[in-house]
């Protein structure tokens, strides 16, 4: 479904891969494009009660991401960013307890193959055990570093300033504009 979303602008939303879940070595702009296209792509994929939770969660993620990427922040905007993160984290916990508990999710085929390869390499044989031949269950995990540091963005913006003051993305945009100017 991601492939059906049309491109937008010059480098704003790029054409997506045929299978988004199988993409490797994602850059930051890949994640940004996936987030920007996720709401219409995910609409209707889940039962109605879970679909509303997923749509709301995707909206809150997009809102948080937009607030973080602002180039100018006032004190009230940083406070709004903190409130948005609190709301987002509450929704993520609700998502983990209610929606994730409802669905039985398994690892992707490439994850299973990689696990089998690691197992064979560690044991020194090509024979896979019965346990490693089946896909393992995958649970949603909020206990990750990436989620933990999301709470620090507002404090970092207060301390260091906006993210465009230390990102290289603006330099890349400048290089692209000089290419088109010539």
Residue pLDDT, tens place only, 3-62: 555 555 555 555 555 555 555 566 665 667 777 777 787 788 888 889 899 999 999 999
Quick: pLDDT tens for 64-114: 988 988 888 888 999 999 999 999 999 999 999 999 999 999 988 888 888
Tell me what the mean pLDDT of segment 160-177 comes to. Answer: 63
Q: Supply φ then ψ for residue 51, to 5 degrees.
A: -60, -40
Collapsing DSSP states into helix, strand and coil, what is residue 23?
coil
Q: Indicate the pTM of the whole model.
A: 0.68
For the chain, the domains span 2-105+147-181, 106-139
Quote the pLDDT of residue 86: 95
pLDDT of residue 91: 94
What pLDDT, on a 0 to 100 scale, did the predictor assign at position 89?
Answer: 95
Strand, coil or helix: 137:
strand
| Contacts by 73-77, CB closer than 8 A, 24 or more apart | 73/157, 73/162
């Amino acid at each position: 479904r991601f492939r059906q979303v049309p491109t937008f602008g010059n480098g704003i939303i790029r054409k997506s891969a045929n299978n988004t879940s199988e993409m490797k070595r994602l850059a930051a702009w890949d994640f940004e494009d996936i987030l920007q296209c996720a709401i219409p792509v995910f609409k209707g994929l889940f039962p109605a009660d879970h679909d509303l939770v997923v749509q709301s969660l995707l909206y809150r993620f997009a809102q948080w991401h937009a607030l973080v990427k602002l180039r100018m922040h006032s004190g009230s905007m940083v406070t709004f960013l903190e409130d948005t993160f609190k709301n987002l984290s509450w929704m993520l916990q609700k998502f983990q307890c209610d929606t994730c508990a409802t669905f039985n999710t398994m690892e992707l085929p490439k994850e299973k193959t990689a696990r089998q390869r690691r197992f064979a390499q560690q044991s020194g044989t090509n024979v896979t055990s019965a346990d490693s031949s089946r896909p393992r269950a995958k649970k949603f995990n909020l206990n990750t570093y990436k989620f933990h540091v999301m709470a620090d963005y507002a404090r970092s913006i207060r301390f260091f300033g906006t993210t465009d003051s230390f990102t290289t993305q603006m330099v890349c945009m400048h290089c692209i504009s000089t290419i088109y100017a010539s």
